[in-house]
Amino acid sequence: MKQILFINFFIIFLFSCNAQQVLPLNNSAYSSPTNSYFKDSNGELDYYLGNWKAVFQNRVIILDISKETKVPFEMFDKKFFRDQIRVRYVIKNSNGLILESSLNKDFFNDIKLSIRGFKTQLNGNEVSLIFSGGNCSVGIGKIVFKKINPTQFSWGYYPGTTSRNDISCPPNLDYTIYLPETENLVFTKQ
pLDDT (tens digit per residue) in 62-76: 999 999 999 999 988
Of 113, 112, 141, residue with least CA distance to 128: 141
Q: How far, in Å, CA of 59 to CA of 188, rounded?
A: 15
Q: How many CB atoms lie within 10 A of CB 144?
A: 18
User: Global pTM?
Assistant: 0.83
| Distance separating alpha carbons of residues 130 and 141, to the nearest angstrom | 6
Residue 173 CA, distance from chain mean position: 25
Contact 112, 135 (CB under 8 A): yes
Round to whole Å and give the CA distance between 128 and 146. 9
| Model pLDDT for residues 34-56, shown as the tens digit of each residue | 999 999 998 999 999 999 999 99
CA angle 72, 43, 24 (to 5 degrees): 55
pLDDT at residue 165, as a whole number: 65
**How is the chain split into domains, by residue range?**
33-189
pLDDT, tens digit, 9 for 90 and up, residues 11-25:
444 444 556 799 998
